[in-house]
Chains A and B, each alone.
Chain A
Amino acid sequence: MTLSMLNLMPALPEIFVLSLACVVLLVEAFSKKAAWAYTLTQWTLVGAGVITLFNADGVKTYAFNGMFVGDLMGDVLKLVIYAAAVVAVAYSRRYLHDRGMFRGEYFALVLFAVLGMMVMVSASHFLTLYLGLELLSLSLYTLVALQRDSAVASEAAMKYFVLGALASGFLLYGMSILYGMTGTLQMGQLIQAVDMTHPGLLAFGLVFVVAGLAFKLGAAPFHMWVPDIYHGAPSAVTLFIGSAPKLAAFAIVMRLLVDGLHPAVGDWQQMLAIMAVLSLAIGNLAAIMQSNLKRMLAYSTIAHMGFLLLGLLTDSYAGYSAAMFYVITYAITSLGAFGMVVYLSRAGFEAERLDDFKGLNAKHPWLAAIMAMLMFSMAGIPPFVGFYAKFVVLQALVGAGWLWLAVAAVVFSLIGAFYYLRVVKVLYFDAPHAADIVPSGGSDVRALLSLNGIGMLLLGLMPQPLLALCAYAIEVSLQ
């Protein structure tokens, strides 16, 4: 075996991010200047984006003996992951400073988490998929726990770690059953080797795989960790967890269920349908009762993941690309919403209760307008992008003949609109809160947040380019 057989070129972004993550570690250790680590992290992500952009040619290439696959779907998702990470790190700069978390390790761990997501996105082998997942999870557990003196954060990290380990165990057990059946761990070979003469055993392995995936997505009934971790983690970490990893989770669902286990589509369609309805119901109903904004957004995440599953279970190009569009726009919206929580928090004060946002319009009308735009988008009110995301998913769903699911999704979305609109009501119609809200962070963060909010509107007015890109990426990648 020679080096050319390894075919390192498709994995160049991964190699770049790994090398620079190690440099970030060293820079902070020797210079003692965390600001350098911050700058280097941002440039690393931008550089990885440039490399990925030049590598993206729409041709499906395998590397490392079929363990790694580079295709357009992966490249698009990776680009969004870099962007989400850049924005998340930029939003949280001041927050980290105020809480003593502005350290080199934080940025190195963010880069390692991004590397884990990239590996997951490009995995075409059970082993690499699992290792990427573990790399991401380990980095996230540590990020949650990094604020050592906070009892809430430590508790959240512990819960996340224990439940995450359990879910990894489920996933591994399912994979081992599938390996026992087929004798291969590679998705491309698996799809041919899957034996439909033993549907019981196949479904058995599939159940464990789907349960593990559902946990990572945060879909009901494997959602119990989401509110506690979103609430307990430092807001800057919640901001990161709530955005980019959802894209990676979408990618591994596509790789495992569509690339690898497509012959068992009848089985996983039913499982996803049940999980989608449960997620929509639990997410939307439980969010109504929350008085903490982070917790409310956590439940809303569960509901959004239900919508994502609806797109995936249609088993059509339209459905997959709708799900991809949904997850990309959701990641951007979630960045904005949690970004606002981080921006309005300052040293010794967390703007995370709904009451803290009372009458924000009186003091900061522009911030209130951005927050309102984000909430409208999450609720799915036209002309914001959330409406189109929901619309294309429902369209695909009806096209595939799942009318009752579409009706259920619409009903639960209407229920969900209540709590998003309640936030808008709190912003505009409630008497200003006694404690004065002072935004932290510089004008650059303010500009980025404004862009994020206006982006919801712009993407909603012109969803076509992104929709077309998703549709094209799915079509070239699923040959």
Chain B
Amino acid sequence: MEFTSLVFYLFSAILLLSGLRVITAKNPVHAALALVLAFFTAGCIWMLLEAEFLAITLVLVYIGAVMVLFLFVVMMLDINLEEMRRGFWDNLPVAALVATLMVLEMATVLSSGYFDYATPLAKPAGYSNTKELGLLLYTDYVYPFELAAVILLVAMVAAIGLTLRRRPGRKWVDPAKQIEVKRGDRIRLVSLAPQKPAAAKAAEEEEA
């Protein structure tokens, strides 16, 4: 066995095990950490396939940004996994049976050896996967690229539309309205007839 195949099988094993941990871990933080490991190993496998841009993006974006954010959220929320997992053992026998059957069927079809490709030729030195990807992305694939951008826009609109709401009864003040205020809005000048205090009045009456 070649060294690269050995590395591939090693990474694949780690990937599968960590994937399994994601769904079996009792503690949600452990599950999130297992997912980080799964992403990282997948990145390593991509690196083996000489797709270095994708590998680095996976590590930077998914591990660096998405999963860290996710970890924070998981730590903040008090998730009771036992509660959510109550039906797990009841449904396991049926689910396991169906899953095993499906895996066996898929294995029968997929082991027909159709995917045995000849090993692709090694790329010449100085070949940049990133450059090729960039060239394709902005020329041949510009339409799907723009569509992906629209989907992100929709996701943004959706997130804001679903979370932003104006609750009644808040003590929030609009600064624009605050500086527009006129003297007349705040002060009311009332002219009162001059009056003597009650005590002075009483004294006057006594004198009289």
Q: Using CB atoms and an 8 Å cutoff, list the residues of chain A in contact with chain B.
A: 1, 6, 11, 18, 22, 25, 63-65, 67-68, 103, 105, 108-109, 112, 115, 119, 125, 127-128, 131-132, 134-135, 138-139, 141-142, 145-146, 148, 180-181, 198, 200-201, 203-204
Contacts and interface: CB of A to CB of B under 8 A. Distances in A.
B127 to A, nearest CB: 20
Interface string B153-174: 1110110111001000000000
A1 B114 CA distance: 36
B157 to A, nearest CB: 6
Interface in B161-190: 161-162, 165
A121 to B, nearest CB: 14
B144 A131 contact: yes
B142 A201 contact: no
B112 A146 contact: no
A204 B109 CA distance: 7
B99 interface: no
Contact of B141 (A105, A127, A132, A204): A127
Given A112-B154, A200-B112, 12 more contacts: A6-B142, A65-B141, A119-B147, A125-B144, A127-B141, A134-B151, A138-B155, A139-B154, A142-B154, A146-B162, A198-B112, A204-B109
Given A112-B150, A131-B144, A142-B154, A201 B109 contact: yes
Contact of A146 (B110, B115, B161): B161
Contact of A18 (B106, B115, B150, B155): B150
B74 to A, nearest CB: 19
A423 B144 CA distance: 46
A128 B110 contact: no
A64 B158 contact: no
Interface in B91-113: 106, 109-110, 112
B154 A138 contact: yes
A127 B142 CA distance: 12
B143 A204 contact: no
A180 B154 contact: no
B10 interface: no
A163 to B, nearest CB: 17
B160 A201 contact: no
A1 B22 CA distance: 45
Nearest to B115: A180
Nearest to B135: A1
B106 A204 contact: yes
- Sorted nearest first, the 7 A-B pairs with minimum C-beta distance are A142-B158, A64-B143, A105-B161, A131-B147, A204-B109, A127-B144, A65-B140
B30 to A, nearest CB: 23
A25 B157 contact: yes
A1 B139 contact: yes
Given A200-B109, A204-B110, A67 B143 contact: yes
Contacts of A18: 150
A474 B157 CA distance: 37
Contact of A135 (B106, B115, B140, B154): B154
Contact of B114 (A63, A64, A139, A201): A201
Contacts of A142: 154, 157-158, 161-162
Interface of B is mostly: helix
Contacts of B162: 142, 145-146, 148
Contacts of B160: 105
B7 to A, nearest CB: 23
B144 A135 contact: no
Contacts of A22: 153
Nearest to A15: B146
A109 B114 contact: no
A285 to B, nearest CB: 25
Contacts of A127: 141, 144
A146 to B, nearest CB: 6
Chain B interface size, under 10 / 10 to 19 / 20 to 34 / 35 or more = 20 to 34
A109 B161 contact: yes
Given A108-B157, A198-B114, A128 B143 contact: yes
A181 B157 contact: no
Contact of B157 (A105, A148, A180): A105
Given A128-B143, A132-B147, A148-B165, A138 B112 contact: no
Contacts of B20: none
A276 B28 CA distance: 42
B75 interface: no
B133 interface: no
B148 interface: yes
Contacts of B110: 201, 204
Contacts of A1: 139
B65 to A, nearest CB: 20
A103 B114 CA distance: 53
Nearest to B160: A105
Nearest to B139: A1
A123 to B, nearest CB: 10
Contacts of A108: 157
B22 to A, nearest CB: 16
Contacts of A139: 154, 158
B114 A181 contact: yes
A198 B110 CA distance: 11
Contact of B142 (A25, A64, A105, A203): A64
28 contacts: A6-B142, A18-B150, A64-B143, A67-B141, A67-B143, A67-B144, A68-B143, A105-B160, A109-B158, A112-B153, A128-B144, A128-B147, A131-B144, A131-B148, A134-B151, A135-B147, A135-B150, A135-B154, A138-B154, A138-B155, A139-B154, A142-B154, A145-B162, A198-B112, A200-B109, A201-B112, A201-B114, A204-B110
A103 B161 contact: yes
Nearest to A109: B157
Contacts of A135: 147, 150-151, 154
B156 to A, nearest CB: 10
A131 B151 contact: yes
- Tell me which of A18, A103, A181 has the highest count of chain B C-beta atoms within 10 A of its own C-beta: A18
